[in-house]
A = this chain, B = another copy of it.
Amino acid sequence: MTAPVNRIPVGVLGGTGMVGQHFIKFLRNHPWFDVTWVGASDRSAGKKYCEATHWRLEGLMPEKVRDIVVSESKPGDGAPHLIFSAMDASVATEIERAFAEAGHVVVSNSKNHRMDKDVPLLVPEINAAHLGILRVQQRNRGWKGQIATNPNCSTVVLTMALAPFKQFGIERVIVTTMQAISGAGYPGVASMDINANVVPYIGGEEEKMEQETQKILGEFAGDRIEPLHAAVSAHCNRVPVLDGHTITVSVETAQKPSFDQVIAAIGEYRGAPQERKLPSAPEHPLQYMEEENRPQPRRDVERDNGMAVYIGRLRKCPVLDYKFVALGHNTIRGAAGAAVLNAELMYSEGLLD
């Protein structure tokens, strides 16, 4: 694999929304990809990005996107071959399909197609092989283009943290999340709901974590993805944290690895992004912290550009085998950064040609 000679033009569907802004920010200095096109609602189409967008993120809007004229969210109008989708779930199904039909590679953060049997749900460190399903997708649907997806923000943290356990045969998992408010978009969670409070419910989140995890940790079997047959139970909560989903996990495996084996498996974990030195890949995708009270979202979430997952407090679980804490950046590793890493992986496999 060699880096592209010229930067590859990319578009961002839903680029004026909160998730779209995270894409724009994450890509602002990307070595391979260059944002040249933004698609949004009809209301925004025709305006400059800086006029159509109320920038809500820390720091200022990147200079180079300010003058991009926003397009409608449909193929044509100069939309580049590679399209990142930050579309809202209420409209993503049809729009993403239209782009894929028209031959675009759609790398989507939306939930809409994640559980489709012929759509890969990627965490590149774990299941790069699932890209094989794209051939089935194109055949099934008669598309020139294709759709690849990344998981729900909480699921990314969980599956990354479970990845080193996979070799030991994961059988049962109970996870409780403490999720940041930035995961809910804008305006998202009302301050009257979350200030000095916990909201022990996030609509649809537990189902996503339970189902997506099985698919991600499953195997590509030539014409289908065989999900992992493990029981996963999720308790999802919103807490007054800005960025970073913290999770507590109890896990049971078929084999009974020693404590040292688990620690080694975490520390040595690498995947395709590390082997291929993809630009957004963290050098160490999983990092074990020895301090007794870490990881913590506010103190650790910005490390490694938000792309690594931090694990701490591994200890024996009196009910299942092991228990631990994990943390990942929900809007980076759990959304925009995840999609960009997916596209980098696809480039490395020649799928963007």
Cross-chain pairs A/B with CB under 8 angstroms, 28 sampled: A58-B299, A58-B302, A59-B302, A174-B317, A174-B319, A174-B320, A176-B235, A176-B248, A178-B178, A181-B191, A187-B192, A189-B192, A190-B190, A191-B193, A191-B240, A192-B242, A195-B240, A195-B242, A196-B240, A197-B296, A197-B297, A198-B246, A198-B297, A199-B296, A200-B293, A233-B323, A235-B248, A239-B240
Residue on B nearest A316 in the bound complex, by CB: B233
Q: How far is the CA of A194 from the CA of B195 in the complex (A)?
A: 9
* A173 CB within 8 Å of chain B: yes
* A284 CB within 8 Å of chain B: no
| Shortest distance from the beta carbon of A169 to any chain B beta carbon, whole Å | 15
| Shortest distance from the beta carbon of A34 to any chain B beta carbon, whole Å | 24
| Shortest distance from the beta carbon of A174 to any chain B beta carbon, whole Å | 5
Within 8 A of B (CB), among A303-324: 303, 312-313, 317-320, 323
Docked-complex contact A196 and B242, CB < 8 angstroms? yes
* A298 CB within 8 Å of chain B: yes
Q: Provided the pairs A199-B293, A297-B198 are in contact, do residues A190 and B188 lie with their beta carbons within 8 angstroms?
A: yes
| Shortest distance from the beta carbon of A111 to any chain B beta carbon, whole Å | 19
Q: How far is the CA of A176 from the CA of B302 in the complex (A)?
A: 25
Q: Provided the pairs A178-B239, A210-B318, A232-B318 are in contact, do residues A190 and B201 lie with their beta carbons within 8 angstroms?
A: no
Give the residues in chain B near A57, CB-CB below 8 Å. 299
Docked-complex contact A200 and B233, CB < 8 angstroms? no
User: Which of B186, B235, B246, B296 is close to A323, meaning CB atoms less than 8 Å apart?
Assistant: B235
Binding site for B on A (CB under 8 A): 56-60, 172-174, 176, 178, 181-182, 186-201, 210, 231-233, 235, 237, 239-242, 246, 248, 250, 292-299, 302-303, 312-313, 317-320, 323, 325
Copies of this chain present in the complex amount to 4
Interface centre among A200, A294, A296 (most CB of B within 10 A): A200
Give the residues in chain B near A198, CB-CB below 8 Å. 178, 239, 241, 246, 296-297
User: Which of B231, B312, B318, B323 is close to A319, meaning CB atoms less than 8 Å apart?
Assistant: B231
Residue on B nearest A235 in the bound complex, by CB: B248
Residue on B nearest A236 in the bound complex, by CB: B248
Give the residues in chain B near A296, CB-CB below 8 Å. 197-200
Q: How far is the CA of A318 from the CA of B240 in the complex (A)?
A: 28
| Shortest distance from the beta carbon of A140 to any chain B beta carbon, whole Å | 30
Docked-complex contact B318 and A200, CB < 8 angstroms? no
Give the residues in chain B near A292, CB-CB below 8 Å. 201
Listed from nearest, the 9 A-B pairs whose CB atoms lie closest are: A187-B190, A176-B176, A235-B248, A201-B293, A197-B298, A200-B325, A233-B319, A191-B191, A196-B196
Q: How far is the CA of A182 from the CA of B172 in the complex (A)?
A: 34
Give the residues in chain B near A201, CB-CB below 8 Å. 292-293, 313
Docked-complex contact A173 and B235, CB < 8 angstroms? no
| Shortest distance from the beta carbon of A308 to any chain B beta carbon, whole Å | 12
Docked-complex contact B240 and A192, CB < 8 angstroms? no
Docked-complex contact A246 and B200, CB < 8 angstroms? yes
Q: Provided the pairs A200-B313, A241-B198 are in contact, do residues A318 and B233 lie with their beta carbons within 8 angstroms?
A: yes
| Shortest distance from the beta carbon of A214 to any chain B beta carbon, whole Å | 10
| Shortest distance from the beta carbon of A90 to any chain B beta carbon, whole Å | 18
Give the residues in chain B near A242, CB-CB below 8 Å. 192, 195-196, 298
